[in-house]
């Protein structure tokens, strides 16, 4: 009863809103990695990435789902060896439009997000342990801050997404091998072996903070261009601790559906 009256208030004061966009993006990225399963050395290097996504905005919520692929070629400055990293990340974010912000330009939207992440690190100079894979599935509270504005009589919006996972399911290879626990006694590692026999971890042993700052330019026909800057830091205190920092700059098109 209370919620229906709340939405009734929203509909009385705000025009009905229903926007759906298909997102395609392209950009560059830079990573810092210390994976103790591979080396104590800091590996850092540039790469590129693509993103596909879907954005659905109503008067009540904003839902954004994206799939992003990145490739990087980091090396270390001590002995000059390098590795390849391949990252596939799926992110779903759901933000709630608060009624008390309907008239404000600066909006703060709380939300939740679900994140899946699969990473392959290929250390080229190694032999039996050259390929390290890890997977993560996280649930996180999320926050979106946004502020539309006009410049040269054109519509822009600046904002930032951020997530802090509280619960994560994480898998890593065996302590001194790239073999996965679930793949022991199988001739070849099957895809789902990467997902089995992981552990549920929280802030004590797994910390990840990410932020995505954007500048959106809206065309009159409802399409838009968005420039994003991603940043992420992750620390996982597993048997082989791992820390990664990532930066990405991406330009995306938003095609109105």
Partner 1 sequence: MKKVFYIGLLISSFSFSSCERIFMSEEPEPSNLEVFDHLWNTIDEKYSFFIDKDIDWEKARTDYRSKAKSARNSIELFNVLAEMLFVLEDGHVNLSAGIDLSRNWEWYLDYNSNFDFDIIERNYLVPSEDYQISGPIHNTIIDSVGYMYYESFSSSVSTSLLDYILLKFLRQEINSLEGPVGGIIIDIRNNGGGSISNAFTIANRFADEKTKVADWYYKNGPAHDNFTGPEEKFIEFEGDEDYIFTKPIVILTNRSSYSSANFFASMMSFLPNVTIMGDQTGGGGGLPVNNELPNGWRFRFSATRTIDARGHNIEFGVKPDITVELNPLDKANGVDTIIEAALTHIKGE
The residues that touch partner 1, with contacts defined as CB under 8 A, are: 32, 34, 38-42, 76-81, 106, 123, 125-130, 145, 147, 149, 158, 160, 174-177, 179, 181, 184-185, 209, 211, 213, 229, 231, 233, 235, 239, 243, 245, 247
Cα separation, 225 vs 216, whole angstroms: 6
Of 38 and 216, which has the nearer Cβ to partner 1?
Answer: 38
Q: Does residue 6 contact residue 60 with C-beta atoms inside 8 Å?
A: no
Closest contact distance (angstroms) between CB of 154 and partner 1 is 16
Beta-bridge partner residues of 20 = 56
Tell me whether residue 10 or residue 123 sits nearer to partner 1 (CB atom). 123
3-state secondary structure of 50: strand
Structure tokens at 149: 């504005």
CA-nearest of 76, 34, 40 to 243 is: 34
CB of 143 within 8 A of CB of 102? no
**38/142 with CB nearer partner 1:** 38
Give the three-state DSSP class for 143. Answer: strand
Half-sphere exposure at residue 231, Cβ-oriented, CA atoms within 13 angstroms: 7
Task: Work out how close the CB of 97 gets to partner 1 at its nearest, in angstroms, rounded to a whole number.
Answer: 19
For partner 1, the closer of residues 10 and 83 by Cβ is 83
For the chain, list the strands marked E by DSSP.
18-35, 43-58, 61-72, 83-96, 107-123, 131-151, 154-163, 167-171, 199-202, 206-218, 224-236, 242-256
**Could you tell me the smallest distance in angstroms from the CB atom of residue 3 to partner 1?**
31
Which residues is 119 bridged to in the sheet? 87, 134
Closest to partner 1 by CB, 58 vs 218, is 218
Q: Considering beta carbons, is residue 38 or 62 the nearer one to partner 1?
A: 38
Residue closer to partner 1 (CB basis): 10 or 27: 27
Closest by CA position to 117, among listed 50, 168, 55, 73: 168
Query: Shortest gap between Cβ of 254 and partner 1 (angstroms)?
Result: 20
Q: Minimum Å distance from CB 117 to partner 1? A: 16
**Least distance (Å) between residue 187 CB and partner 1:** 9
Q: How far is the CB of 39 from partner 1 (least distance, A)?
A: 4
């Amino acid at each position: 009863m209370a919620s229906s009256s709340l939405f009734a208030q929203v509909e009385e004061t705000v025009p009905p809103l229903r926007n759906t966009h298909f997102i395609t993006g392209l950009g560059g990225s830079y990573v810092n990695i210390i994976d103790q399963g591979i080396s104590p050395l800091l590996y850092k290097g540039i790469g590129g990435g693509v993103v596909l996504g879907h954005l659905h905005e109503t008067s009540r919520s904003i839902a954004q789902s994206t799939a992003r692929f990145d490739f990087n070629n980091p090396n270390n400055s001590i002995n000059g060896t390098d590795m390849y990293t391949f990252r596939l990340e799926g992110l779903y974010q759901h933000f709630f439009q608060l009624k008390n912000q309907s008239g404000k330009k600066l909006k703060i939207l709380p939300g939740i997000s679900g994140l899946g992440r699969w990473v392959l690190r290929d250390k080229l100079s190694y032999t039996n342990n050259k390929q390290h894979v890890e997977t993560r599935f996280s649930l996180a509270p999320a926050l979106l801050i946004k502020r539309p504005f006009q410049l040269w009589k054109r519509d822009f919006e600046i904002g930032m997404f951020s997530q802090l996972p509280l619960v994560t399911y994480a898998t890593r290879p065996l302590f001194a091998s790239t073999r996965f626990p679930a793949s022991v006694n199988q001739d070849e590692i099957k895809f789902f072996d990467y997902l089995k026999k992981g552990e549920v971890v929280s802030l004590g042993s797994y910390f990840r903070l990410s932020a995505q700052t954007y500048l959106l330019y809206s065309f009159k026909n409802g399409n838009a261009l968005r420039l994003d800057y991603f940043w992420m830091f992750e620390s996982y205190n597993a048997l082989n601790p791992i820390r990664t920092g990532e930066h990405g700059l991406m330009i995306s098109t938003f095609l109105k559906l």
